[in-house]
């Protein structure tokens, strides 16, 4: 198949493929990394640099990153790109697992494709370890006097960390019915627009750092809210099947395999917002400064926190295998 035919077959991915062809020099040592989106570049680059790039002199290779747009585009590009690499080059592909296991979706497997253990990269960010790094590196609570002040209240790090873990578990439990609903609609061939679901309409985290549920305003139930904003509808008897899906999810030992990463990220951002307010009020009352210059939001969380994530063991093993 010629270049023109390749580009026509790729469609929207053609611009990425063209960029690859321009960067791919057969006689040069080249590393190509293909990602779903820009957040993935921010998340993976630090690990690729540490494990692969730092061991190679900069004048001995070129490293190229590509944002493909979505998961299916990464797989389509894999089919075209793999045949054009040689012993001097590496083409690596990174995708989220999403709900593939629960929807019985089968994707092409290859040792050049890394698939997350969890639903998506965001799930690796929402951990107690990340909370500890935020506490020290963004909140800058490192001095003994601040530490002593907080230990004399209910805002010592250990108490906050324990509450974070408890509330995250509660959030996971409450999310099961929503994820089961998503799985049900997907199995029925519908495509709910998950980006339209605003969890702030369904949950809130109060100033005491506890999560609570609420019925979305202007909607009689959470179900009706989900249907309206996601653009799908279900039959009246569907809840029997949805409950069956929920029971399957409760048997899973790790909620991060089915909780959408962006939903977990919502929890982290909301928790941090309330925690920041509590800390600011308490510390300023004591006459000490508390200036947080970096505000973590859902839009910038991966850019800010991604490089602070502990490298997942599966990703570390994958990158080590592909060292040049």
- Do 193 and 229 meet the contact criterion of CB atoms below 8 Å apart? yes
Dihedral angle over CA of 148, 149, 154, 159, nearest 10? -40
Tell me the three state secondary structure of residue 64.
strand
How many Cβ atoms are within 10 Å of 212's Cβ, its own excluded?
A: 11
Shared domain for 96 and 223, answered yes or no, is: no
Angle between the 128-137 and 157-187 helix axes, to the nearest 10 degrees? 130
pLDDT given at position 9: 58
- Residue-wise pLDDT for 55-99, tens only, equals 776 667 889 999 999 999 999 999 999 888 877 788 999 999 999
Closest CA to 10 of 20, 90, 92: 20
Shared domain for 200 and 298, answered yes or no, is: yes
pLDDT given at position 195: 94
Q: For the full predicted model, state whether its pTM sits above 0.75.
A: yes
Task: Report residues of the chain scoring pLDDT below 70.
Answer: 1-12, 57-59, 218
Shared domain for 136 and 265, answered yes or no, is: yes
Domain containing residue 12: 3-121+310-321
Shared domain for 84 and 113, answered yes or no, is: yes
Give residue for tokens 């790090």: 157
Average pLDDT, the chain: 91
**Both tokens of residue 150?**
């907080």
Shared domain for 192 and 70, answered yes or no, is: no
The backbone torsions φ and ψ at residue 102, rounded to the nearest 5 degrees and listed phi first, read -85, -15
How many Cβ atoms are within 10 Å of 256's Cβ, its own excluded?
A: 20
Question: In degrees, to the nearest 5, what angle opens at C-alpha 211 toward C-alphas 285 and 126?
Answer: 90
Backbone conformation region of residue 209, classed left if phi is above 0, alpha if psi is from -120 to 50, else beta: left
Shared domain for 49 and 135, answered yes or no, is: no
Backbone conformation region of residue 64, classed left if phi is above 0, alpha if psi is from -120 to 50, else beta: beta
CA gap 34, 41 in Å, rounded:
9
Shared domain for 144 and 293, answered yes or no, is: yes
- Do 278 and 156 meet the contact criterion of CB atoms below 8 Å apart? no
Shared domain for 216 and 161, answered yes or no, is: yes
Shared domain for 65 and 113, answered yes or no, is: yes
pLDDT given at position 253: 87
- Pairing state between β 89-95 and 62-67: unpaired
- β-partners of residue 67 are 35
Shared domain for 27 and 173, answered yes or no, is: no
pLDDT given at position 145: 75
pLDDT given at position 150: 84
How many Cβ atoms are within 10 Å of 158's Cβ, its own excluded?
A: 9
Report DSSP letters for 198-265, one per residue: -GGGTEEE-TTS-EEE-PPTT-SSHHHHHHHHHT----GGGHHHHHHHHHHHHT-S-GGGTS-HHHHH
- Residue-wise pLDDT for 100-150, tens only, equals 999 999 999 999 999 999 999 999 999 999 999 999 999 988 877 787 788
**Both tokens of residue 145?**
């006097």
Total count of domains within the chain: 2
Shared domain for 7 and 62, answered yes or no, is: yes
Shared domain for 140 and 258, answered yes or no, is: yes
């Amino acid at each position: 198949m010629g270049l023109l035919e390749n580009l026509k077959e790729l469609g929207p991915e053609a611009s990425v493929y063209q960029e690859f062809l321009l960067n791919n020099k057969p006689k040069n040592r080249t590393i190509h990394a293909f990602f779903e989106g820009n957040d993935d570049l921010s998340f993976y680059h630090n690990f690729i640099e540490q494990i692969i790039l730092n061991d190679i002199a900069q004048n001995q290779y070129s490293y190229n990153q590509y944002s493909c747009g979505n998961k299916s585009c990464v797989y389509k590009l894999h089919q075209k790109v793999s045949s054009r690499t040689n012993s001097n080059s590496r083409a690596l592909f990174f995708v989220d697992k999403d709900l593939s296991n629960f929807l019985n979706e089968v994707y092409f497997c290859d040792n050049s494709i890394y698939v997350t253990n969890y639903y998506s990269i965001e799930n690796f960010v929402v951990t107690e370890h990340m909370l500890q790094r935020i506490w020290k590196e963004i909140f800058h609570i490192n001095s003994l006097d601040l530490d002593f002040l907080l230990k004399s209240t209910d805002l010592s790090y250990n108490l906050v960390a324990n509450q974070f873990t408890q509330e995250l578990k509660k959030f996971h439990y409450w999310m099961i019915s929503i994820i089961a609903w998503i799985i049900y609609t997907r199995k029925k061939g519908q495509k709910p627009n998950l980006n339209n679901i605003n969890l702030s309409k369904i949950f809130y985290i109060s100033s005491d750092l506890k999560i609570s549920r609420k019925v979305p305003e202007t909607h009689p139930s959470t179900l009706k809210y989900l249907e309206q904003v996601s653009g799908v509808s279900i039959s009246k008897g569907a809840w029997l099947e949805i409950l069956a899906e929920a029971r399957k999810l409760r048997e899973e030992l790790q909620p991060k395999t089915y909780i959408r990463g962006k939903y977990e990220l919502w929890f982290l951002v909301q928790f941090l917002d309330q925690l920041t307010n509590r800390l600011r009020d308490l510390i300023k009352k004591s006459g000490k400064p508390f200036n947080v210059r970096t505000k973590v939001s859902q839009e910038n969380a991966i850019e800010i926190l991604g490089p602070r994530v502990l490298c997942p063991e599966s990703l570390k093993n994958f990158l080590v295998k592909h060292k040049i």
